[in-house]
């Protein structure tokens, strides 16, 4: 069953998977296979209380009967992880958005660098590579103490395909040291805290863009856009016109008019709130849409308008 472009699932299992980490297994209530996902693909979870949050799939993508996500309870976060940990139990029914994105797996050596719970997409990617008979990859995980999802990491550690760096015992290794021994045509993917992502971006400066993949779930701070201006926002299907001040949040303006779009990251990195625009020139400030997608879509959580009028397909 689908509603609003989402799939109805039921929580079939919840497991402790590390300090403040729970692993949730979601299945179709009637036992059907779920839509396929790329290794490490993302799904939006529609949580109790109206929150929408995006998480990476950490299970084997070949297991079409389930989606598996692991979530760390972030007491200082924006409430999604707390809602999942405290308000969701086995048997709970939850709508899940169709999978999107994922970790690109090219033909050469794959180097994965993860910080803590950022390991999730790479466990899925590792399962996909092993299913292809490939062991040309290595996963580095930095964690404070025991890593999350240790049971899924264990087979990789045993085969020498992963390394865990406990930052309570020694400082986190420099990214330049980690990548120094990689083959010349290696691809690198990273998911972790902003400082780690920045280090990887600096260490791979000059690499071909197609060989570097950064998974961002915490958006960087937005800098005010000097080109933003007051504009008229037109909702074509509803016949509504809104006057939006320069710099105001477009998603908030829509919500104030009674038009809800699902917002997850709030910073233009997850793609959850994408909408189609029909006329006008948006100021795109997201980090998830391709140039081709920007010809017809925008992210209202961060987009502004370069012109006096912007028409949305809403």
Tens-place pLDDT, residues 195-234: 899 899 999 988 998 899 988 766 666 777 787 889 999 9
Tokens 């805290």 found at: 193
Q: For the chain, what percent of residues have pLDDT higher than 70?
A: 97
CB of 291 closer than 8 Å to CB of 258: no
pLDDT at 2 over 70: no
- pLDDT exceeds cutoff 90 at 276: yes
Q: How many CB atoms lie within 10 A of CB 273?
A: 25
Q: Provide the whole-model pTM.
A: 0.78
Section 25-43 average pLDDT = 95
Per-residue b/e over 77-112, b at no fewer than 16 CB within 10 Å? eeebbbbbbeebeeebebbbbebbbbbbbeeebbbb
**CA dist., res. 300 & res. 309, Å (int):** 15
CA distance 9 to 58: 17
Domains annotated for the chain, with CATH where assigned, are 2-97 (2.40.30.10), 110-215 (3.40.50.80), 231-312 (3.10.20.30)
**The pLDDT value given to residue 3:** 46
pLDDT (mean) for 55-83: 92
CA–CA distance, 93 with 27 (Å, rounded to integer): 9
Q: What is the pLDDT of residue 229?
A: 85
**What's the count of helices (H) and strands (E) in the chain, helices before strands?**
6, 19
Query: What b/e readout covers 245-259, taking b as 16+ CB neighbours within 10 angstroms?
Result: eeebbbbebbeeeeb
Is pLDDT at 121 greater than 90 in this prediction? yes
Phi, psi (5° rounding) for residue 277?
A: -110, 150
Task: Choose between 66 and 224: higher pLDDT.
Answer: 66
């Amino acid at each position: 069953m689908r509603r609003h472009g989402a799939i109805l699932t039921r929580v079939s299992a919840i497991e402790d998977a590390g300090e403040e980490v729970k692993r949730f297994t979601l299945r179709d209530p009637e036992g059907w296979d779920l839509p396929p996902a790329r290794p490490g693909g993302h799904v939006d979870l529609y949580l109790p209380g109206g929150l929408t949050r995006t998480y990476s799939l950490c299970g084997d993508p070949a297991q079409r009967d389930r989606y598996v996500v692991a979530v760390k309870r972030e007491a200082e976060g924006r409430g999604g992880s707390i809602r999942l940990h405290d308000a969701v139990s086995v048997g709970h029914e939850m709508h899940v958005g169709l999978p999107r994105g994922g970790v690109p797996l090219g033909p050469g050596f794959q180097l994965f660098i993860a910080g803590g719970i950022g390991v999730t997409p790479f466990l899925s990617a590792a399962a996909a590579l092993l299913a292809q008979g490939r062991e040309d990859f290595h996963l580095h995980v930095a964690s404070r103490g025991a890593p999350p999802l240790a049971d899924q990491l264990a087979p990789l550690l045993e085969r020498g395909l992963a390394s865990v760096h406990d930052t309570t015992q020694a400082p986190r290794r420099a990214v330049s040291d980690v990548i120094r021994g990689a083959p010349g045509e290696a691809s690198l993917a990273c998911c972790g805290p902003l400082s780690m992502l920045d280090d990887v971006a600096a260490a791979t400066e000059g690499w071909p863009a197609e060989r570097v993949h950064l998974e961002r779930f915490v958006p960087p701070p937005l800098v005010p856009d000097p080109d933003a201006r007051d504009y008229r926002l037109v909702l074509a299907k509803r016949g509504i016109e809104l006057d939006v001040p320069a710099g105001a949040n477009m998603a908030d303006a829509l919500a104030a008019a009674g038009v809800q779009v699902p917002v997850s990251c709030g910073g233009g990195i997850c793609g959850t709130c994408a909408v189609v625009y029909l006329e006008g020139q948006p100021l795109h400030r997201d980090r998830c849409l391709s140039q081709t997608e920007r010809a017809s879509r925008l992210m209202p959580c961060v987009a502004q308008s370069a012109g006096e009028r912007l028409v949305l397909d809403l």
